[in-house]
Amino acid sequence: MQRSSPGELSPGARYVAGPTFAHFCASPELWGIVLWGRPSHEDVVALRRSLLEEIAADTLPHVSVVDASRMTGVDMAAFEELRSYVEENAEALARGVTRLALVRPDGLPGAVVAGMFAVMPQPYPVRVFASLTPALGWLSEHEEELSCEGLARVLDDVVAECADAAPIVTALATYFASHLTNANVGDAARALHLSLRTLQRRLSEAETTFQEQLGLARLAEAQRLMLDSEEPLTTIAMEVGCASLQHFSALFRRHTGESPSAWRESHKRAT
């Protein structure tokens, strides 16, 4: 499953991630959310922006799964933000989502999560499960085109990749998603409500730098554009914030060992 920027969650095995969540589209027929840790109000605000992609006018009716099995706690402000999203978009959700499966965590967090969902507006049928496999089985009962094979493993991989990242790296990835062409360390520090010195110290503790993370963000977005479009490399270089095609090529070679054109050709052929 390929990571995307917020606002670019088109159908086809993609996900958008924040510090404690991943919002994914496995196929046009199956969308979902994975939650871990204790999502904050700020996390749910970011998640809410991505959720709007799921109820866009051109999105097909689909089933949805919320895998909260990795949650360790509940923030009431975060829950209220999610409840507000469902309430304000009930009509669009009723059109777009045919049924939703909730996978609850164990123990007290599970009881709290299940109880909160029980009092939330439900514009579609909802059922609570203790694990992902029966949840996916229920979702696919009346969906002949829906394939859930291997999804549990894929979601484990997504969570491992996102949850293992240092919090500052995840926070920067969210910042880069909307500032890729004009990102700078001072603006990033302000956006993250940190002093410049604190941002640099946390990046140092994570054994990385602002420029390294910016380069990786530009590379990921460039790779997505190269696979999803026929845009010339010069155009893609400008869209991801590279000053020139030479700069773009140097970035690509440094991280992949290939030129952009060679990478595009080999990966287009593979797909």
Rounded-to-integer distance, Cα 172 and Cα 183, Å: 10
Residue 86 is predicted with a pLDDT of 94
Write b or e for each residue in 80-94: b if 16 or more Cβ atoms lie within 10 A of its Cβ, otherwise e. ebbbebbeebeebbe
Query: Are 96 and 174 in a shared domain?
Result: no
pTM: 0.62
Residue 12 is predicted with a pLDDT of 59
Q: Given the DSSP bridges, would you call strands 14-17 and 21-27 parallel, antiparallel or unpaired?
A: antiparallel
Domain boundary among 163, 187, 213: 163
Residue 104 is predicted with a pLDDT of 93
Q: How many CB atoms lie within 10 A of CB 31?
A: 25
Query: Are 139 and 227 in a shared domain?
Result: no
pLDDT tens, residue by residue, 228-255: 889 999 999 999 999 999 999 999 998 8
Residue 72 is predicted with a pLDDT of 81
Query: Are 152 and 199 in a shared domain?
Result: no
Query: Are 209 and 137 in a shared domain?
Result: no
Which residue segment(s) compose the domain that 215 sits in? 167-270
**Which residues make Cβ contacts (< 8 Å) with residue 36, sequence separation at least 6?**
20, 21, 70, 71, 72, 159, 163
- The identity of residue 231, as a single letter, is E
Query: Are 158 and 255 in a shared domain?
Result: no
Rounded-to-integer distance, Cα 220 and Cα 240, Å: 9
* Domain containing residue 84: CATH number: 3.40.50.10600
Rounded-to-integer distance, Cα 236 and Cα 233, Å: 5
Query: Are 149 and 172 in a shared domain?
Result: no
Domain boundary among 104, 136, 163: 163
**Which residues make Cβ contacts (< 8 Å) with residue 53, sequence separation at least 6?**
7, 9, 23, 25, 59
Domain boundary among 163, 193, 219: 163
Residue 37 is predicted with a pLDDT of 85
Q: Kindly report the CA angle at 204 between 203 and 209, in degrees rounded to 5?
A: 60
Residue 140 is predicted with a pLDDT of 86
Flag residues of the chain having pLDDT under 50: none
Query: Are 205 and 236 in a shared domain?
Result: yes
Question: The tokens 């110290």 sit on which residue?
Answer: 201
Residue 228 is predicted with a pLDDT of 81
Query: Are 42 and 137 in a shared domain?
Result: yes
Query: Are 92 and 19 in a shared domain?
Result: yes
Question: How far is CA 250 from its chain centroid?
Answer: 28
Residue 143 is predicted with a pLDDT of 65
